[in-house]
Amino acid sequence: MKPCLIDEILEAVWIAHEEGRPDVTDLNVECKHDVGAFDLSSALSEMEALGLLKLVEGRVEFTTEGRAKARNIIRRHRLAQRLLMDVLDVSEGESEDLACRFEHFLSEEVTDKVAAFLGHPQVDPNGRPIPPGETVPEPADFVTPLITRLSRLKVGESGRVAFLTPSFHKRFDRLAAFGINPGAVVNLHQRKPAYVVRLGETELALDPEIADEIYVRPLN
Amino acid sequence: MHNHRKAESGATGRRTIALVGNPNVGKSVVFGYLTGRYVNVSNYPGTTVEVARGRLTGERNPRQRGPGRRHPSRSTHQEHQRGRGRSRGTETPAHSHTHRHRQGDWEVIDTPGVNNLIPSSEDEVVTRNILMNETPSRIIQVADAKNIRRGLLLSLQLSEMGLPYTLCLNMTDEARDRGIQIDTAALSKALGVKVVDTIATQKVGLDEVKRLTMDRTKRPHPIPVDYPAPIRKAVQELEPLLPESQLSPQAVALMLLTADETLLDWLSTRVDGTTLQVIHSIRDRTRRAFSRSMNVEITQARMRAASRLMDQVLQQRETRLTSLAQSLSRAAVHPVGGFAFVAAVLAGMYYFVGVFGAGILVDWLEEGLFGGYIIPGLTRLVETVLPWQLLRDLLVGEFGLLSMALSYSVAIVLPIVGTFFIAFGILEDSGYLPRLSVMMNRVFKVMGLNGKAVLPMVLGLGCDTMATMTTRILDSRKERLIVTLLLALGVPCSAQLGVILAMIQGISLGAAVLWFGIVLGTIFLVGYLSAKVLPGRSSDFLLEMPPLRRPLVGNIVIKTMARLEWYLREAVPLFFLGTLLLFVMDRLAILAWIEAATSPVIQSFLGLPREATAAFIMGFLRRDYGAAGLFLLAREGQLDPIQILVSLVVITLFMPCIANLFMIIKEQGWKVALGMTAFILPFAIVIGGAVNWSLRLLNGVLP
């Protein structure tokens, strides 16, 4: 069994658990990295034999070792995607594709450096949590983040929207229809009594909680 | 396709033009132009909640319809049949004739403003359903020229649906002021539709919009949108499975991919179970490929396409706009200055509605015109013409239809409501109301609401019944319930407020402040508690602030007239009904019986004279009747200051008027209406009693 297939399956299981449906039938092992043809059920039993997974009543569970491994893969993938999208401005599709490759070979040291460079982000561009590293960073390790929340911009400052992490789908839909999408430039007009931002010729008033969920790259 | 459409138009009996666009782009003004009718045109996001429908006006149209000779609905149908027959029989020669002849059969629909045709709000569902199910033969999209990107997001979706439309680039004057220049010809070429520059409020370009829309329209060009690969694949697989529809298969397939449950009903009646299952499995599989909702993936892909299109046609000059409107706009939402603004607006309203409307105009109308001439004249007339005492009393007695209902509704309420509607219209058209929402957002959060709720609450100061209807603009049922309750409980309408203010002037400033404090405190308390009790989450405060504009006198006049027409048609009959009810109750001694039955509560608990009961009962028929009844008692010196204050508190918090109750039943159902009544009645009495007893204990607080 190829190591990268193991990685892909661990990743799929992690995501399935995040989404709260760890059934074998729901597993979605689909990555751009070519893993060749494989049979999922035999791959799963092989991994069970390796001590990475447990199959319980049709659900896939991690062993301690499997979870630690999966956690690192997810961390590498999501940090890589943040790096590619936020810093290098690679498109979403391509960055997803590349991150799928990065997750297999980034060393732990490089991964931690990427995390520090990005200011230890909590979530990936799709709003999913990035598992923190083994060593909890000292405050001094935080560099000025390249991406910040809209709510942390200075009044009068502009930022280009990098990604959104809304707590509700509906909120995301409404923001998207107003044009608050990755790439859009917003200017913060005021904070109180409500946030007021300008986007093109549209002025929007919004709650602080919403402004917290919009991540921007400050422009000067 | 052709057959299909004919069948559709046959079913609805006429052909339709749908107006589609983002909120606040002037759709309603275009609608008014096309139909000769006016609906709410305003800056406040979401005011066109109800779908307005009207008939397309045509110069020779009214005569041809021959009103009065035939039953209107039948005539429409016949005209339609004839129109169709003729166009089928004689091809080109009679074209212009049939064209004009048929104008009367065109129905214009003003759809609710939407930002996206993937529905995420009720308004958006309504608009999408109109496009899908009413199969309009023509569509006019109205877009704000200075916010073209958001307009193009809708254009792309219309193009994708394969619906022919005319794009009306509105507010080109404002765009020009901001240095925005749009290449209309290039845009028209790219979209494959007709594009017209307009300034709807000045009627610039609207003639052309109408002319081009009536011409036969071609299907728009499909605009390439870069959907993510899994979505493209799913669309390809879905297309052959879909039932026939007015919309293109691609558009329907994309709709199905979104989390749009409302569409599933439509689908399940049109395809068999196996196909439905296949569709579901494609949908679920595609959804799994994305971490975010599909709506967002699709909208973002469209938005990127809209941006590309915009870059091709838009030229932006750098302009530094530091107009007065912009400085005012800043000041109106300034964390400190904004409240001064609020105070100034409220003071302005007080002087215009309270002092001018409720004071000067009411004095002149009620005491001068009605009290001096009309009522005495009518009384003399009735007494000479009618020999029967009962009928005389019915018309001009104590609870007479003329002496009471007519003079109250026209001499007291009309000037107050009229001045309020003018003031409110100015606020709406100036674009100030969303800014007021921004200022009030935090305060309203305490009550489980957000700044948006300020609109119905302020409107409630004009007319609670109308305001209850406006609660539809709120996003969640929880918020609608809270605002409906607070309106019914504590927001006095303009008519009542006028009388209340007049009574308070009779006592002291301290009493006025006390009354205001008690009512406001009660509103907050009840709002806070109901926010805790009612299930559900409060909705997001995410509001567009249109630029401040100078309101046009013409628009304010038309809008006020439309609202007054509503008042005369909907509310005044209720005045008459209420008065009639009072008259009957008085004759049958029911009034006396209720007075006797409730007097222990009224007299001992509230410490009010027995006559106050009649005022409270009247207060239910019309809130201001109640206040006016108390006003008379106070003027006759029957109430001391504490009694005035107690009765004012009770009448303010007391039951909404009968019209408001009907509206609550209509909007929320009779169960909710009954529940609110059961809460408000005892609650108002308890608060009144508490005020009475605490003031009596602290004797001498009120001078």
ipTM attached to this prediction: 0.72
Is A6 found in the same domain as A115? yes
Is A120 found in the same domain as A14? yes
Q: Which residue of B has its CA nearest to A203?
A: B545
Highest-scoring range by mean pLDDT, A121-135, B234-248, B501-515, B656-670: B234-248
Handedness of CA B433, B436, B442, B445 (dihedral sign): negative
Is B289 found in the same domain as B150? no
What per-residue confidence (pLDDT) applies to A220?
67
Interface of A with B in 24-63 (CB under 8 A): 26, 28, 30
Single residue among A90, A119, A145 that ends a domain in this structure: A145
What per-residue confidence (pLDDT) applies to B169?
92
The answer to the question of residue B322 being in a domain is no
Is B257 found in the same domain as B402? no
**Peptide bond before residue A193 is cis, with ω within 30 degrees of 0:** yes
Q: Is the pLDDT of residue B382 over 70?
A: yes
Single residue among A114, A130, A145 that ends a domain in this structure: A145
| B637 token code pair | 């010196």
Q: State CA A166 to chain mean position distance.
A: 13
Single residue among B285, B316, B347 that ends a domain in this structure: B316
Q: Do B450 and A181 touch (CB under 8 A)?
A: no
**Between B1 and B464, whose confidence is greater?**
B464
Is B536 found in the same domain as B390? yes
**Candidate from A77-81, B258-262, B350-354, B432-436 with smallest mean pLDDT:** B258-262
Q: Which residues of B touch A194 (CB under 8 A)?
A: 333, 438, 441-442, 451, 541
Q: Do B146 and A201 touch (CB under 8 A)?
A: yes
| A111 token code pair | 């991964």
CA distance B479 to B303: 31
A93 touching B (Cβ < 8 Å): yes
What per-residue confidence (pLDDT) applies to A197?
93
Indicate the helix (H) or strand (E) that contains B207: helix B206-214
| B409 token code pair | 């509704």
Question: Which residues, 6 or more positions from B116, have their beta carbon under 8 angstroms from its beta carbon?
Answer: A173, A176, A177, B124, B153, B154, B157, B299
Mean pLDDT of all residues in B209-216:
81
Read out DSSP for B598-649? HHIIIIIIS---TTHHHHHHHHHH-HHHHHHHHHHHHHTT---HHHHHHHHH
Q: How confident is the model at residue B593 (pLDDT cuts 50, 70, 90)?
A: confident
Per-residue pLDDT of chain A in tens (220 residues, 90 and over written 9): 677 788 888 888 888 888 887 777 777 776 655 666 777 888 888 888 888 888 888 888 888 888 888 888 899 989 888 888 777 667 777 888 888 888 888 888 888 878 877 777 778 877 788 888 765 554 444 455 667 888 888 888 888 888 787 777 778 778 887 888 888 889 998 888 889 999 887 889 998 888 888 888 888 6
CB-neighbour burial class of residue B67 (10 A; exposed 0-12, middle 13-18, buried 19+): exposed
Q: How confident is the model at residue B622 (pLDDT cuts 50, 70, 90)?
A: low
CA distance B258 to B286: 10
Is A101 found in the same domain as A33? yes
Number of domains chain A contains: 2
Number of domains chain B contains: 3
Mean pLDDT of all residues in B369-385:
86
Q: Which residues of B touch A196 (CB under 8 A)?
A: 333, 438, 545
Q: Do A172 and B304 touch (CB under 8 A)?
A: no
Q: Do B304 and A183 touch (CB under 8 A)?
A: yes
- φ/ψ bin of B171: left (φ > 0), alpha (ψ from -120 to 50), beta (otherwise): left
Is A202 found in the same domain as A138? no
A123 touching B (Cβ < 8 Å): no
The answer to the question of residue B423 being in a domain is yes
Interface of B with A in 99-138 (CB under 8 A): 115-116, 118, 120-121
The answer to the question of residue B220 being in a domain is no
The answer to the question of residue B613 being in a domain is yes
Is A122 found in the same domain as A160? no
Q: How confident is the model at residue B255 (pLDDT cuts 50, 70, 90)?
A: confident
Q: Is the pLDDT of residue B197 over 70?
A: yes
Nearest to B451 among A26, A93, A194 (CB): A194
CA distance B422 to B428: 10
Is B419 found in the same domain as B366? yes
The answer to the question of residue B331 being in a domain is no
Is B346 found in the same domain as B310? no
What per-residue confidence (pLDDT) applies to B104?
54
Q: Which residue of B has its CA nearest to A27?
A: B288
Is A107 found in the same domain as A14? yes
Q: Which residue matches tokens 């409730």?
A: B598
What per-residue confidence (pLDDT) applies to A137?
53
Single residue among B169, B187, B214 that ends a domain in this structure: B214
Q: Domain span at residue A179?
A: 148-219
Is A138 found in the same domain as A95? yes
Is B348 found in the same domain as B471? yes
Q: Are A8 and A29 in contact (CB under 8 A)?
A: yes
Give pLDDT tens digits for A68-110.
888 888 999 898 888 887 776 677 778 888 888 888 888 888 8
A205 touching B (Cβ < 8 Å): yes
A183 touching B (Cβ < 8 Å): yes
Is B359 found in the same domain as B274? no
Q: What is the DSSP letter of A198?
A: E
What per-residue confidence (pLDDT) applies to B223?
82
The answer to the question of residue B200 being in a domain is yes
Q: How confident is the model at residue B96 (pLDDT cuts 50, 70, 90)?
A: very low
Q: Do A205 and B543 touch (CB under 8 A)?
A: yes
Instruction: List the CATH number of the domain containing A103.
Output: 1.10.10.10
Closest-CA distance, A191 to chain B, in angstroms, reads: 9
**Considering chain B, what percentage of its residues have pLDDT values greater than 70?**
86
Mean pLDDT of all residues in B217-240:
85
B336 touching A (Cβ < 8 Å): no
Is B182 found in the same domain as B209? yes
Q: Is the pLDDT of residue B482 over 50?
A: yes
Is B71 found in the same domain as B138? yes
Q: Domain span at residue B416?
A: 337-540+551-697
Is A30 found in the same domain as A116? yes
Interface of B with A in 442-471 (CB under 8 A): 442, 450-451
The answer to the question of residue B346 being in a domain is yes
Residue B671: C-alpha distances to residues B7, B483, B530, B619 (Å): 42, 17, 17, 22
Indicate the helix (H) or strand (E) that contains A195: strand A195-199
Closest-CA distance, A199 to chain B, in angstroms, reads: 9
Q: Are B584 and B395 in contact (CB under 8 A)?
A: no
Q: Which residues of A touch B289 (CB under 8 A)?
A: 28, 30
A193 touching B (Cβ < 8 Å): yes
Q: Which residue of A has its CA nearest to B230?
A: A93
Interface of B with A in 612-651 (CB under 8 A): none
Give pLDDT tens digits for B548-578.
888 888 778 877 887 888 778 777 787 788 7
Q: Which residue of B has its CA nearest to A92?
A: B228
B318 touching A (Cβ < 8 Å): no
Single residue among B185, B214, B243 that ends a domain in this structure: B214
Single residue among A91, A119, A145 that ends a domain in this structure: A145
B228 touching A (Cβ < 8 Å): yes
Residues present in chain B in total: 703
Q: Is the pLDDT of residue B81 over 50?
A: no
Q: Which of B142, B112, B109 is nearest to B50 (CA)?
A: B112
CA distance B299 to B293: 10
What per-residue confidence (pLDDT) applies to B50?
63
* pTM check: above 0.80: no
Q: Do A193 and B335 touch (CB under 8 A)?
A: yes
The answer to the question of residue B625 being in a domain is yes
**Candidate from A121-130, A187-196, B217-226, B319-328 with smallest mean pLDDT:** B319-328
Is B587 found in the same domain as B438? yes
Q: Do A207 and B118 touch (CB under 8 A)?
A: no
Instruction: List the CATH number of the domain containing A214.
Output: 2.30.30.90
Mean pLDDT of all residues in B111-132:
80
CA distance A176 to B117: 12
Is A45 found in the same domain as A56? yes
A94 touching B (Cβ < 8 Å): no
What per-residue confidence (pLDDT) applies to B93?
35
Q: How does strand A185-190 pair with strand A158-164?
A: antiparallel
| A23 token code pair | 């059934």
**Considering chain B, what percentage of its residues have pLDDT values greater than 90?**
10
Q: Which of A219, A185, A157 is nearest to B316 (CA)?
A: A185
Q: Are B362 and B501 in contact (CB under 8 A)?
A: no
Is A90 found in the same domain as A75? yes
Helices (H), B352-431: 362, 375-385, 389-396, 414-430
Interface of B with A in 562-591 (CB under 8 A): none
CB-neighbour burial class of residue A116 (10 A; exposed 0-12, middle 13-18, buried 19+): middle
Is A208 found in the same domain as A124? no
B46 touching A (Cβ < 8 Å): no
Q: Which residues of B touch A181 (CB under 8 A)?
A: 299-300, 303-304
Question: Which residues, 6 or more positions from A92, have their beta carbon under 8 angstroms from its beta carbon?
Answer: A85, A125, A182
Give pLDDT tens digits for B16-44.
889 999 888 888 788 888 887 655 444 33
Is A156 found in the same domain as A74? no
Q: Do B441 and A194 touch (CB under 8 A)?
A: yes
Instruction: List the CATH number of the domain containing B269.
Output: 1.10.287.1770
Interface of B with A in 145-184 (CB under 8 A): 146-147, 149-150, 153, 175, 178, 180
| B639 token code pair | 């109430």
Max CA-CA distance within chain A?
61
Q: Is the pLDDT of residue B595 over 90?
A: no
CA distance B447 to B45: 21
Instruction: List the CATH number of the domain containing B159.
Output: 3.40.50.300
Task: Provide the number of CB pairs (under 8 Å) joining chain A to chain B.
Answer: 128
Q: Which residue of B has its CA nearest to A174?
A: B120
B334 touching A (Cβ < 8 Å): yes
Highest-scoring range by mean pLDDT, A28-42, A52-66, B252-266, B279-293: A52-66
Give chain A's end-to-end CA distance (angstroms, integer): 51
Is B639 found in the same domain as B498? yes
Q: Which residues of A touch B542 (CB under 8 A)?
A: 171, 174-175, 178, 204-207, 210
Q: Which residue of A has its CA nearest to B542?
A: A206
Is B363 found in the same domain as B305? no
Q: Is the pLDDT of residue B73 over 60?
A: no
